[in-house]
Structure 1
Amino acid sequence: ICMIAHVTARKMPTFHRHEEEKFFVNAEGRKESVPSIHDPPTRELSVVVPSYNEEDRLPLMMDEALDYLEKRQKRDPSFTYEVIVVDDGSKDQTTKVAMKYCKEYGNDKVRVLSLVKNRGKGGAVRMGVFSSRGKKILMADADGATKFADIEKVEEGLKNLQPWPNQMAISCGSRAHLEKDSIAKRSYFRTLLMYGFHFLVWFLCVKEIRDTQCGFKLLTREAALQTFSTLHIERW
């Protein structure tokens, strides 16, 4: 199966953006063209938030994130940011909820990209990454599973990787230290599945990253372009 996949699969996947996805709606209700990751960066940080039916949980995450980002900008006026909420074809009011933040903070800081149909988390993250303006790009889940202030930890991890080969580096957040608490709340069957999955990832993929499923990852712009340009699977 692996040999067949290797022979038949394209090295560079086809990336398609629907006509409606080439624009975002600003705070005044007008359409503006989305930027491209191929353009020079104009912000220090882009935060990409993939969201699917997150009208209830998104406000908590956005309040926490924007409170942190605004305070950081006041301490350091040279720090600039944007938050890109990618509505992955939601059936609820996710876009409407996100637009409230766009109107409150301005579309230069908060942007909402609504996808025509559900692509999956991988596809939603890629669309947000390809529409970002930041020198660094942070993936953050809409459910607020990770405390946003922990961005400082992944930033420190990225800094420790210097010098970056070709400006490429990725720092991954981890919740492995919370594993004992999570095991206590899981059934034996789910715990068995978890350990089985961790073993396969360790055996077949990466050995240095203990928590590959944490949605809190910080990438340099160059690393993000290289990584998401070769992403074949969208539904993860």
Structure 2
Amino acid sequence: MLPLLEFIPSILVTVVVTFGFLWILYPAWVVLVADILEWDVEELSLADTQRPQPPLLSLIIPAYNEQDRIPIMIRESFEYLTSERGKTLIQQLQSCSKMMPSNDNSLKEQKQSEEMQPVIEWLIVNDGSNDSTCDIVRETYTSIPSDSTSIGWKWKIVSLKRNAGKGAAVKTGMNLAEGTFHLMVDADGATEFGNGLENLTREFIANVKDSMIAVFGSRAHLEKKSTVQRSMVRTILMKGFHFFVSIFVSTKVQDTQCGFKLFTQSASCLVFKNLHLRRWAFDTEIILLCDKQDIDILEVAVPWCEVDGSKLGTSKLALALVSISMLRDMICVRACYTFGIWKIKNGLSSSQE
């Protein structure tokens, strides 16, 4: 009996290490056994069959139980895009598309249709919501004036058949988007749409060299003010997250989690067809994929404010658990790419996982 007891500590250590290893690589196992993403696409607006052309800008809006916040965000965004400021910005994006090399079909078609009205594509990606998000989006769409003659509109609701996570929703929307530029924007409207998009576009114009560019909105300039308002636990979690991002991901980006990011179509295709993470830490994998594929990342401050209704949870325990989960995902992503468990697919043809 005594010899057997001597092996118990070794057995316990082996079990703990094994389960720890499996837990760290949990996202990799999920990708291997996860269901293939399935979705339905509902066209709210009819495409112009007489003058078909690719959209200039695609707005990808992931939404999970956002019936209260998404109508405000849609109306504010639409009001900006139809304002004189918005029309000026659209003209700037058209000028950007002319400056970029025509290495994909969207840019070629966009340049061929310069004299036609620009088209804005709305892709609301419903991530398996169990509230009235889709009904509210339809109601909001029907309440928006449709007499705009200077801009064309394409509205779609993409409904995932089950809740798969924000990363999965963004990936699906990005891979379905047809625009020359793809803008990821959160449904809560926390980032001021007009000023935020102007800041991203201004940074893009100042640095445009080729079609492989991503511009990230950043809230880093608000960190000092928000630290004063946060509790000690939230501040520690925030500092800890930034520390581990710098170790496992990159030191190039100060704010990885801001939900306001602009991609060219070429950059979007290379990044999102390779994206694996489906939950909150997917932004960190985006940065790794940009680095590995020589996609330039620009970061610019955007106006942002806290909006009630966060899906991350508000209790200290919930925030701690989410932070641990995101740390696990970052370690897994770095390990999977370092040891070749995940391969990067090259080429510009879109594919869905």
Q: Which has the higher helix share?
A: 2
8 A contact 1:47–1:138 mirrored in 2: yes
Q: Which amino acid aligns with 1:16?
A: I
* Pair 1:209-2:253 in alignment: yes
Correspondence for 2:79: 67
Aligned CA-pair RMSD? 3.1
Q: Please say which structure displays the higher CA radius of gyration.
A: 2
What is the TM-score with the length of structure 1 in the denominator?
A: 0.82
Structure 1: 5+ residue stretches without partners: 33-39
Alpha-carbon distance in structure 1 between the residues aligned to 2:117 and 2:224:
40
2:128 pairs, out of 89, 92, 110, with: 89
User: d(CA) in 2 for partners of 1:177 and 1:41?
Assistant: 39
1:58 is aligned to 2:48: no
Unaligned runs of 5+ in 2: 1-20, 92-115, 147-151, 281-353
What one-letter code is carried by the residue in structure 1 that aligns with 2:260? F
Whole-angstrom CA distance in 1 between matches of 2:44 and 2:118: 22
Counterpart of 2:171 in structure 1 is 126
> 1:26 aligned to 2:44?
yes
Query: What amino acid maps onto 2:213 in structure 1?
Result: A
- The answer to whether the Cα contact below 8 Å between 2:69 and 2:188 also exists between their aligned partners in 1 is yes
Partner of 1:47: 59
Q: Are the equivalent residues in 2 in contact too, given 1:87–1:113 (CA < 8 A)? A: yes
| AA of the residue aligned to 1:173 | G
Cα drift, residue 97 of structure 1: 0.8
Q: Is the 8 A contact 2:127 2:164 kept in 1?
A: yes
Task: Tell me, yes or no, if the aligned pair for 1:47 and 1:137 is still in contact at 8 Å.
Answer: yes
Residues 108 and 81 (structure 1), Cα distance of their counterparts in 2 relative to 1, 3 Å cut: closer
Counterpart of 2:206 in structure 1 is: 160
Q: 1:41 to 1:157 in 2, by over 3 A?
A: farther
Q: Using the TM superposition, give the Cα deviation of residue 63 of structure 1 relative to its aligned residue in structure 2, in angstroms.
A: 1.1
Aligned position for 1:146: 191
Contact 2:158 2:173 in 1 (8 A): yes
Q: Aligned-pair distance for 1:62?
A: 0.8
Whether 1:113 and 2:152 are equivalent positions in the alignment is no
Task: Give the aligned partner of residue 180 of structure 1.
Answer: 224
Of structures 1 and 2, the one with the larger relative CO (CA 8 A, separation 6+) is: 1
Partner amino acid, structure 1, of 2:190: A
How far residue 41 of structure 1 moved from its aligned partner, in angstroms, is: 7.3
The percent of aligned pairs where both chains have the same amino acid is: 36
1:98 aligns with 2:134: no
1:102·1:111 contact (CA, 8 Å) conserved in 2? no
* Structure 1 position 155, deviation (Å): 1.4
- Report the TM-score when normalising by structure 2: 0.56
* Residues 184-193 or 151-160, more deviating: 151-160
Taking the aligned partners of 1:108 and 1:44, their CA distance within structure 2 comes to: 10
CA offsets, 1:5-36, max 9 Å, x none?
Answer: 6xx88x99999342xx24324359xxx9xxxx
